[in-house]
């Protein structure tokens, strides 16, 4: 475990500009500062907008900025239109509001379609927000069956931090007896429906206890947009400290991604993290008194109302790194506007494959460990429209060749169905159907258990038995286990029905997935493994076996790609990567026994040209040189069933092109410095193209197209190629290693079989001859 000791500098007043003489001097030098009462408590968000508005007026002398926010349901996470079926069914979608913003106005533009068979006088759609009824939508007969749009103005008092819109469908197709689940009872809510909000920024205290807010807010589903501010010509030590902070933010942001912007010796007009030592600091911190210990300080932005600056300070580079690591590793004890770190005890180095976000292969893992809340394993309603989805990250080098599957010990509970048709549980992986299990009826037990094999890559194209083997392309490094319950209603016959009954179904939290017994072995280079999971760097979660190499004089574009790459690795592992080496191109020899992440715009230092014979392509300013291109196979197939043809030597030859036009590339190859180590180069011919690398690493759609050992990014086009021969990293038992490598060489395997047969024949023949000789000697003796 690690431990950090903090010391709070004495503060004599709540006004940060009078409490800190250097800030007063900064203000006096002409930097406009909006009066800001940082010491007052932030008003608690509630449904009384008037109360909150009064609190806001009391805490700030002028109103903070108003932001317009508009998103479709698709952008809010509703991948498909919401279909509601039955007499009474409902669906929902969540919307979060940042803790530092207040909803002042809201408008919902709802697009939906109701079944044309409905009775308009009895059928309607109820729209609710946080269980408050907003409107009941009723249409006349002529409008049924066609897409309709209604716009609703929403009282902002209904909004809280976490909000849920619910759409409840009440449908009837006859005034006489009816089947509660008749096929004509349906409504569809389009995921093109939009929600528009006017958000007023709220004042926040200058309190480190609020971190990671306002720089990251878990309620905000947008990518984290943050500025990193450096002194003029920052050295590698300063950049290394910023990498630790980027890894912390990447771990928090997860799937949202990050959009970092690097500024040198200037202050942007928004939230920013500023890095400075006593010897190296931005010009606007010129009057800051020297610090004697690693220090973290939170203060208002001098000329942007509502924005904050987080100062990461140190007497020298070593102290600056301690301050950054303390922020990344342990912020539980941080309070007040400024704190000095008097001691930081680092945690022990992480072990390989010990990432918190990855399913461990050392023991069976309970499904409850893979969801934020056990309630996520349960669905309820008169009709079970929702699917239980569980995200599972696995090490990309999990060796599953020739395996039947991964065991899933599945337990589930549900309200009993009728005896004639008790219902089913459908199990899928990544939207690929696996198996359907019959649920227990009223006369049977309602507790069920099944042992399932999650399918892996297999040469068979059809299930062999009981769904335990299914077609290939099922599992990758990022997966979704999906469980859908279908429990039909009770049917008592013609013109007899019951009031709809709430159904409840749940996956038992004690169900387990078991990766024990699987080894780690993978064909490299694999840009699919890198893009999806940061592999091979994330093999050790704290990045202790990773070296990041930047140009000798890095540009802002180089730094931004570096920050993005580090943050995406920590997003994969769920652990801050603070132990990587950051080197310049001139120091690359220090990266000899590590995996290397190389960031190079235009190869200004010639390092890639020096390694040209190992590269499938070289992208430089004004030129690009590529070997003969061969399209890469699918990413999943490359991970689990590499093509033997990929082991052949390249055919040779190279094409060099000159000209303008932005081109970026991800290049993977074996390290020229150490056999078995890997290099991933993030490169482009100009700064605009470097931005495409950052955007691509944050775009899940583009990541799915990255594979092989060369990825070219041209505008919105992603092209992946396999050029150089593969090599393997990891380890296998000798017999499994031998069989795996021989299976792709049938002729050699046949010759070895013949040789083994001849050898056995000669041994047996020799043994029989020896026995015969002994017998003959016995007879003559």
Which of the four CATH numbers 2.60.120.260, 3.90.1640.20, 2.20.25.90, 2.40.50.140 does domain 66-201 have?
2.60.120.260
Query: What was the pLDDT predicted at 179?
Result: 75
More confidently predicted of 498 and 436: 436
Is it the case that residue 39 has pLDDT exceeding 50? Answer: no
> Measured between alpha carbons, how far is 145 from 136 in angstroms, rounded to an integer?
18
Backbone angles phi, psi at 528, to 5 degrees: -65, -45
Provide the pairing of β-strand 224-230 with 258-264: parallel
- Partnered with residue 566 across adjacent β-strands are none
Confidence band of 653 (pLDDT split at 50, 70, 90): low
Is it the case that residue 37 has pLDDT exceeding 80? Answer: no
Q: Of 491-505, 691-705, 730-744, which gets the smallest average pLDDT? A: 491-505
Confidence band of 272 (pLDDT split at 50, 70, 90): very high
539: which 2 tokens? 């093999």
Query: What was the pLDDT predicted at 245?
Result: 96
Query: What was the pLDDT predicted at 471?
Result: 32
Is it the case that residue 65 has pLDDT exceeding 90? Answer: no
Confidence band of 321 (pLDDT split at 50, 70, 90): very high
Query: What was the pLDDT predicted at 756?
Result: 80
Let me know the angle formed at the C-alpha of 313 by 310 and 318, rounded to the nearest 5 degrees. Answer: 135
Query: What was the pLDDT predicted at 502?
Result: 74
Q: Is 537 in contact with 595 (CB distance < 8 Å)? A: yes
Q: How far is CA 3 from the centre of its chain?
A: 28
The percentage of residues in the chain with a pLDDT greater than 70, rounded to a whole number, is: 78
Residue 369: count other Cβ atoms within 10 Å of its Cβ. 12
> Measured between alpha carbons, how far is 777 from 2 in angstroms, rounded to an integer?
79
Query: What was the pLDDT predicted at 490?
Result: 62
More confidently predicted of 546 and 631: 546
Is it the case that residue 10 has pLDDT exceeding 50? Answer: no
Is it the case that residue 160 has pLDDT exceeding 60? Answer: yes
Contacts with 194 (C-beta within 8 Å, 6 or more apart), sequence order: 70, 71, 72, 73, 108, 109
Confidence band of 236 (pLDDT split at 50, 70, 90): very high
Domain limits, the chain: 3-34+215-345, 66-201, 365-513, 521-730, 745-780
Q: How far is CA 523 from the centre of its chain?
A: 23
More confidently predicted of 354 and 736: 354
Q: pLDDT per residue over 245-270, tens digit each?
A: 999 999 998 888 889 999 999 999 99
> Measured between alpha carbons, how far is 765 from 96 in angstroms, rounded to an integer?
80
Q: Of 110-119, 454-463, 482-491, 585-594, which gets the smallest average pLDDT? A: 454-463
Q: Is 697 in contact with 560 (CB distance < 8 Å)? A: no
Confidence band of 385 (pLDDT split at 50, 70, 90): low
The percentage of residues in the chain with a pLDDT greater than 90, rounded to a whole number, is: 35
Among 89-98, 205-214, 507-516, 546-555, the range of highest mean pLDDT? 546-555
Confidence band of 282 (pLDDT split at 50, 70, 90): very high
More confidently predicted of 549 and 424: 549
> Measured between alpha carbons, how far is 299 from 204 in angstroms, rounded to an integer?
10
Provide the pairing of β-strand 124-129 with 338-345: unpaired
Is it the case that residue 41 has pLDDT exceeding 90? Answer: no
CA atoms within 13 A on the CB side of 56: 22
Is it the case that residue 108 has pLDDT exceeding 90? Answer: yes
Q: Is 65 in contact with 305 (CB distance < 8 Å)? A: yes
Confidence band of 648 (pLDDT split at 50, 70, 90): very low
- What value does the mean pLDDT take over residues 376-387? 78
Is it the case that residue 56 has pLDDT exceeding 50? Answer: no
Confidence band of 654 (pLDDT split at 50, 70, 90): low
3-state class (DSSP) for residue 436: strand
- What value does the mean pLDDT take over residues 153-164? 92
CATH architecture observed for domain 3-34+215-345: 2-Layer Sandwich (3.30)
> Measured between alpha carbons, how far is 473 from 489 in angstroms, rounded to an integer?
36
More confidently predicted of 75 and 636: 75
Is it the case that residue 298 has pLDDT exceeding 90? Answer: yes
Query: What was the pLDDT predicted at 657?
Result: 46
Question: What pTM value is reported for the model?
Answer: 0.80
> Measured between alpha carbons, how far is 95 from 129 in angstroms, rounded to an integer?
10
Query: What was the pLDDT predicted at 444?
Result: 58
Is it the case that residue 81 has pLDDT exceeding 80? Answer: yes
Would you say the CATH fold of 66-201 matches that of 3-34+215-345?
A: no
**Among 667, 759, 764, which Cα is nearest to 707's?**
667
Is it the case that residue 242 has pLDDT exceeding 90? Answer: yes
Confidence band of 6 (pLDDT split at 50, 70, 90): very low
Query: What was the pLDDT predicted at 763?
Result: 86
Q: pLDDT per residue over 507-539, tens digit each?
A: 888 888 888 888 899 999 999 999 999 999 999
- What value does the mean pLDDT take over residues 355-384? 86
Q: Write down the mean pLDDT value for the chain.
A: 79
Q: pLDDT per residue over 173-191, tens digit each?
A: 888 777 777 888 899 999 9
- What value does the mean pLDDT take over residues 57-67? 60
**In this structure, is the dihedral angle defined by the CA atoms of residues 758, 760, 766 and 771, taken in order, positive or negative?**
negative
Query: What was the pLDDT predicted at 133?
Result: 92
Which of the four CATH numbers 3.30.413.10, 3.40.50.300, 2.60.120.260, 3.30.420.40 does domain 365-513 have?
2.60.120.260
Output the DSSP codes for 445-501.
Answer: -SEEEEEEEE----S-SS--STTSS--S----SEEEEEEEEE-PPP--STT------
Confidence band of 646 (pLDDT split at 50, 70, 90): very low
Is it the case that residue 718 has pLDDT exceeding 50? Answer: yes
Is it the case that residue 350 has pLDDT exceeding 70? Answer: yes
- What value does the mean pLDDT take over residues 220-230? 90
Q: pLDDT per residue over 582-620, tens digit each?
A: 999 999 999 999 999 999 888 788 888 888 888 777 776
> Measured between alpha carbons, how far is 591 from 582 in angstroms, rounded to an integer?
9
- What value does the mean pLDDT take over residues 745-760? 76
Note if the bond before 525 is cis, omega within 30 degrees: yes
- Partnered with residue 391 across adjacent β-strands are 480
């Amino acid at each position: 475990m690690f431990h950090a000791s903090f010391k709070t500098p004495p503060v004599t007043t709540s006004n940060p500009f009078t409490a800190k003489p250097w800030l007063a001097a900064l203000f006096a030098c002409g930097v406009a500062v909006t009066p800001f009462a940082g010491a007052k408590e932030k008003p608690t968000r509630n449904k009384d907008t008037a109360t909150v508005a009064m609190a806001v007026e009391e805490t700030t002398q002028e109103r903070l900025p108003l932001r317009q926010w508009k998103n479709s349901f698709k952008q809010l996470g509703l991948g498909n239109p919401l279909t509601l079926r039955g007499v009474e069914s409902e669906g929902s979608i969540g919307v979060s509001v940042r803790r530092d913003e207040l909803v002042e106005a809201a408008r919902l533009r709802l697009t939906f379609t109701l079944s044309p068979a409905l009775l308009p006088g009895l059928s309607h759609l109820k729209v609710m927000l946080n269980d408050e009824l907003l409107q009941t939508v009723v249409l006349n007969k002529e409008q049924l069956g066609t897409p309709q749009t209604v716009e609703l103005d929403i009282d902002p008092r209904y909004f809280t931090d976490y909000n849920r819109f619910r759409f409840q469908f009440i449908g009837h197709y006859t005034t006489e007896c009816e089947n509660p689940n008749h096929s004509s009872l349906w409504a569809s809510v389009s995921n093109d429906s939009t929600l528009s909000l006017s958000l007023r920024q709220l004042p926040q205290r200058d309190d480190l206890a609020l971190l990671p807010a306002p720089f990251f807010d878990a309620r905000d589903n947008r990518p984290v947009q943050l500025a990193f501010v450096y002194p003029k010509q920052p050295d590698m030590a300063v950049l290394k400290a910023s990498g630790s902070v980027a890894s912390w933010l990447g771990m928090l942001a997860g799937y949202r991604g990050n959009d970092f912007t690097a500024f040198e010796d200037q202050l942007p007009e928004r939230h920013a993290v500023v890095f400075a030592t006593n010897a190296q600091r931005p010009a606007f911190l010129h009057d800051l008194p020297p610090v004697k210990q690693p220090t973290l300080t939170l203060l208002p932005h001098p000329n942007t109302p509502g924005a904050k600056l987080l100062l990461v300070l140190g007497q020298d580079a070593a102290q600056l790194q301690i301050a950054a690591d303390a922020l990344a590793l342990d912020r539980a004890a941080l309070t007040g506007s400024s704190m000095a770190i008097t001691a930081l005890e680092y945690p022990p180095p992480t072990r390989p494959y010990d990432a918190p976000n990855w399913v461990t292969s050392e023991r069976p893992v309970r499904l409850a460990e893979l969801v934020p809340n056990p309630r996520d394993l349960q669905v309820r309603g008169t009709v079970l429209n929702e699917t239980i989805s569980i995200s599972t990250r696995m090490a990309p080098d999990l060796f599953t060749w020739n395996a039947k599957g991964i065991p899933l010990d599945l337990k589930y509970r549900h309200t009993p169905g009728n005896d004639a048709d008790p219902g089913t549980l459908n199990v899928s992986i990544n939207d690929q159907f696996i198996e359907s299990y019959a649920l227990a009826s009223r006369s049977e037990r309602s507790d069920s258990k099944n042992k399932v094999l999650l399918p892996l890559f297999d040469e068979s194209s059809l299930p062999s038995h009981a769904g335990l083997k299914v077609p290939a392309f099922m599992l990758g490094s990022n997966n979704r286990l999906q469980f859908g319950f279908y429990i039909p209603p009770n049917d008592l016959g013609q013109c007899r029905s019951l009031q709809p009954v709430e159904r409840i179904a749940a996956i038992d939290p004690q169900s387990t997935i078991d990766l024990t017994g699987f080894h780690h072995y993978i064909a490299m280079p694999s840009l699919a493994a890198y893009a999806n999971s940061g592999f091979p760097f994330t093999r050790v979660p704290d990045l202790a076996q990773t070296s990041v190499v930047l140009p000798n004089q890095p540009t802002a574009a180089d730094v931004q790609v570096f920050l993005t790459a580090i943050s995406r690795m920590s997003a994969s592992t769920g652990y801050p990567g603070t132990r990587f080496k950051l080197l310049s191109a001139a120091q690359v020899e220090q990266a000899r026994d590590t995996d290397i992440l190389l960031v190079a715009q235009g190869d200004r230092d010639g390092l890639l040209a020096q390694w040209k014979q190992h590269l499938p392509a070289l992208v430089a300013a004004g030129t690009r040189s590529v070997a003969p291109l061969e399209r890469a196979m699918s990413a999943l197939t490359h991970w689990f069933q590499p093509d033997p043809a990929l082991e052949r030597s390249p055919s040779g030859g190279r094409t060099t092109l000159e000209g303008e036009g932005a081109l970026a590339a991800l290049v993977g190859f074996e390290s020229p410095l150490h056999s078995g180590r890997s290099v991933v180069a993030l490169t482009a011919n100009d700064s605009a193209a470097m931005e495409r690398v950052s955007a691509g690493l944050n775009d899940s759609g583009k990541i799915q197209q990255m594979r092989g050992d060369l990825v070219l990014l041209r505008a919105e086009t992603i092209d992946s190629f396999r050029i150089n021969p593969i090599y393997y990293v990891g380890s296998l038992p000798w017999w499994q290693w031998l069989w795996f490598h021989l299976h792709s060489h049938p002729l050699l395997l046949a010759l070895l079989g013949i040789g083994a047969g001849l050898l056995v024949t000669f041994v047996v023949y020799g043994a029989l001859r020896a026995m015969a000789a002994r017998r003959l000697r016995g007879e003559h003796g």
